[in-house]
Amino acid sequence: MTSDRQNLVHYDAVVVGAGFSGLYMLHRLRDAGYSVRVYEAAPDIGGTWYFNRYPGARCDIESIYYNYTFSEELLNEWTWSSKYAEQHEILRYIHFVADKLNLREDIQLNTKVTSARYDEKSQKWEIELENSSKIIAKYFITGVGALSASNIPNIKGIDSFQGDFYHTGEWPQKKVDFKNKRVGIIGTGSSGIQAIPVIAQEAGHLTVFQRTPQYSSPAHNKPLDSETIRKTKENFKKIRQEMYASMHGIPSAARTRSTVQDSPEERQRVYEEAWQEGGLFSLLYTYSDIPITPEANKTVAEFVRSKIKKIVHDPETAEKLMPEHYYGMKRPILNTNYFETYNRQNVSLVDLRSTPIKEITKTGVRTTEQEYELDILVFATGFDALTGPLLKLNIEGKDGITLKNKWANGVRTYLGISTAGFPNMFMITGPQSPSVLSNVIVSIEQHVDWIMDCLEYLNKHNADTIEANPEFEQMWSQQCQAIADMTLLSKTDSWYMGANIEGKRREFLAFAGGVGPYRQICDDVAAKSYEGFTILSDSQKVETDGNEKIMNRDANLDPQAKFVLEQLKVLGVPPMETLSPQEARSWTSNFSLLAGAPEKVEHVINRTIDGNIPVRIYIPDGDGPFPALVYYHGGGWVIGDLDIVDVPCRRIANQANCVVVSVDYRLAPEHKFPAAIEDAYTAVKWVATYADSIQVDSNRIAVGGDSAGGNLATVVSMMARDKGGPSIVQQVLLYPVTNHGFDTKSYVENADGYFLTRPTMIWFWNHYLRDEQDGINPYASPLLADDLSHLPPALVITAGFDPLRDEGEAYAERLKTAGVPVETTRYDSMIHGFCWMPGAIEQGKRAIDQVASTLKRTFETVRTETL
């Protein structure tokens, strides 16, 4: 640091940016008594709403939800004019807040931060400004926004254009005159789709250079009526809580219904209703599986494409406007007469996919097909999102490591708020937080409030620094990617993935688990004395519950499994034993979302066998006959269906190159013991009898299942032995139920808190059994069987945090004693059910691959022996 460092101005905190983030951070810091200075590069406050003043600029979140929620006084004194506020009205709101809270006196405008460096000796940040002056601060807080680093593509000749040149993200304050001008606009993302209809009304001719066609639905913007405003203000406390607990920070949620549950005609009706309603997430929220499966997504994508065909008169132009990517996996775009604009005589569309830009000339744009002469060229090419604004600050942490170098091989943060190696630095809505996937003001307030609580905690403990731990940072970054991989988000080129920036690493840059679950996770971290952070005082570690070597068993719980438990808690899944069986089954669709995206299998056939047993048959690519796995889903014999195990069944079929027959047996209490085992045994006999019809080799049939399904697989193996067939070559038992008892060590250790609980297991058994006598029947409790000899080889997988762990392992030992070959694996850090959560839990995918590997080995051995 500089030799005259003592003469520099010192603050408790420096905040970069005077948009929504910086203003609320300033308000909270100042109210808490901190000395603080906000630096803003622009001539005035407003952040993105200062710069994004292009024609048609408007918020895509309904105005009544797009405002601060921390102050009822602010809420009651401000009234929005329309459903979706225009840029100038949002900027007026920001000025209203700044004046109301008297914030301007602590904001320095026209001041660009050019670098920030952490000094380990003083444990302070040195912030350098554009005029070379330097400021010292204990806390360095970035409020630069996710969309503030404008992106102008590197196109040959771009500096040679002699007409007027604009970027939508850096629009001039004075009105741009398009009257009778030849205007070109490059880009049809959100800003382009908003600007194009407005510019077209004034321009002599508008040429749209489209890089990627986009899905867009009508906003149906309208003035807000007094009754809507009154009801919103009266009920805002309730609305605010709904926003806080929601997926995207608005008081709405996706239906739990999947696309396959409705007929094509009913889906069309649902989509049409959402289209007419308008709203950023209206279409996306129609069905729960739209973000998850290509098949579901295709239905809504085709609906929007059909709308484009109807709106755009010229078939050739309509065809150019047809998007091909997954719907809603880029940020949904609202529009006002966007597609209708292409019916104007003064508008033409150039599809850059077929005729790319070769160069920009002095007079216009030259594509591979022709040159377009222009007076004005507008770039609506978006931003270097999320990371770009932070990297522009030239931030340097401990050991001289820059943020740019640290993130060169992948972004790593903890909670999207902090990053290891950069003590006392906080990012408001940083990468790997909900930020751009949410109503950002809700996310801003949550981050600012969390940061303030953290600073108060540090003061209380006389702490000097707080820094993210690398291992927690690594876990969080992996979790963010894993959640995205559960959906189609990471399968789509978008600015969420950095795909719009040449040379930028492809990775999902936000947290896609939802605003509500994310808030709960952050609150839990704080409640555990900022678990995952190192807190130091005079270079000594502050002794807190969250940073000590945790001695309880939770320290060994896999972070991804822990996250799943937290998500289920936030979803408000009630204890199973408090529900009726019908109510419990309604939650099944929530669980299936944890499985992730299904793999493509060559043939998937749904049919009913033996009169009333539904099965789903997965047949891999290739020539049969194939070996087969007959699989029974879990769910305590009371809940569960074919969908909940669809993803693991598909993966096993592909990895083991076998046919998988998934069986939907009768459920209790409508059909008590022994109905389920009767269906299970009937199914395996059917596969053996009709093997040829489903390309199965009847000499290579295995059975398997998870939990109660594992119980059925053990019983079917015994029944096949006792009743003379069919021959079974392998049993796959995933954390199986093997005994009607609740007194093992694992029941004591894992009675509650790890997904499957002791009360729930009692509830399952009570519904399944007819009476207590059934509980000692070996076909209900196979662990109690007198004879386990001559059964098929078994793979037994258990989970460390599972009440069923010990009885599964005890059954494996009984099999070994009886001379049955057994392979056992305990996944120590896992919870019950992890094998059907491979989209959320990496070890679930690993366990499924272990199942496939074991089956493949067994099938090959049997095939060799029978040759």
* CA distance readout (Å), 438 to 94, 280, 580, 606, 843: 19, 11, 35, 38, 29
Looking at residue 589, what is its pLDDT? 57
Question: Tokens in use for 325?
Answer: 């990517």
Structure tokens at 586: 């309604």
What pLDDT score does 4 carry? 55
Q: Which residues pair with 217 in a beta bridge?
A: 334
> CA nearest 126: which of 392, 391, 365, 395?
395
What count of residues does the chain have?
867
Pairs from 774-777 (Cβ < 8 Å, separation ≥ 24): 774/673, 774/740, 775/740, 776/740, 777/673
Q: Which residue has the tokens 């002599």?
A: 204
Q: What is the pLDDT of residue 87?
A: 97
The pLDDT value given to residue 94? 98
Q: What is the value of pTM for the model shown?
A: 0.77
C-alpha–C-alpha distance, residues 267 and 260, integer Å: 9
Distance CA 420, CA 466 (A): 10
Cα three-residue angle 839-843-844, rounded to 5 degrees:
50
| pLDDT, position 525 | 92
Give 10-residue mean pLDDT values along the chain (867 residues). Answer: 64 98 98 98 96 95 96 95 97 98 97 97 96 96 91 92 95 95 96 98 98 96 94 94 93 85 94 94 91 90 98 98 95 95 98 96 96 97 92 96 96 97 98 96 98 97 96 87 85 89 90 90 92 85 49 70 73 78 76 74 95 96 95 96 93 97 97 98 98 96 98 98 96 98 96 94 97 96 97 98 98 98 97 88 93 97 87
Question: How far apart are alpha carbons 12 and 663 in whole angstroms?
Answer: 63
Q: What CA–CA distance (Å, rounded) separates 488 from 597?
A: 7
Q: Round to whole Å and give the CA distance between 596 and 844.
A: 11
Q: Looking at residue 837, what is its pLDDT?
A: 86
User: Which residues, in sequence order, are CB contacts of 783 under 8 Å at separation 6+?
Assistant: 738, 739, 807, 810, 811, 814
* Contact predicate 254/247, CB 8 Å: yes
